[in-house]
Amino acid sequence: MSDFGSSLDFSATPGAGGGAQDSAELQRLLAVEQQKAQFTAQVHNFMDVCWDKCVDKPGSKLDSRTESCLVSCVDRFIDTTLSITNRFSQIVQKGGH
C-alpha cells in the first residue's frame, strides 16, 4: 500500500507551479463574484424602495399607473446611483493626481 502514495505524480495537476498565475485568476474570479453580488443586492434594493413607493395593494396584474411609477422609480434610482458613482470617481481621480 505504501507504493500507491509514492507512485502519484502531482506535477501534472492543474495549477502546480503557477502560484502567481493561479492567484491572479482567483482574484479575478473573486472580483467577478463580488460584482455579481453587488448587482444582485442593488436589484433587491430597487425592488424594496420602488415597491414601497409605487404598489398600494398587490394584485394579479399591474395597472398602468403602478407600472409607470415602477419604471420611473427604477430609472431615477439608476440615474442617482450613476451620478453619485461618477462624482466619487471624479473625487478619487482628483485626489490621485
CATH code of the domain in which 66 resides: 1.10.287.810
- On whether residue 22 sits in a domain, the answer given is yes
Output the tens digit of pLDDT for each of the chain's 97 residues: 444 444 444 444 454 556 778 888 899 899 889 989 988 898 888 889 899 999 988 888 889 999 999 999 989 988 988 899 899 889 888 886 5
Nearest to 88 by CA among 80, 36, 24: 80
What is the number of structural domains in the chain? 1
- On whether residue 77 sits in a domain, the answer given is yes
Crossing angle of helices 19-54/64-96, nearest 10°?
140
The model's pTM: 0.53
- On whether residue 58 sits in a domain, the answer given is yes
d(CA 26, CA 29): 5
- On whether residue 69 sits in a domain, the answer given is yes
For residue 84, give its domain range: 16-96
- On whether residue 29 sits in a domain, the answer given is yes
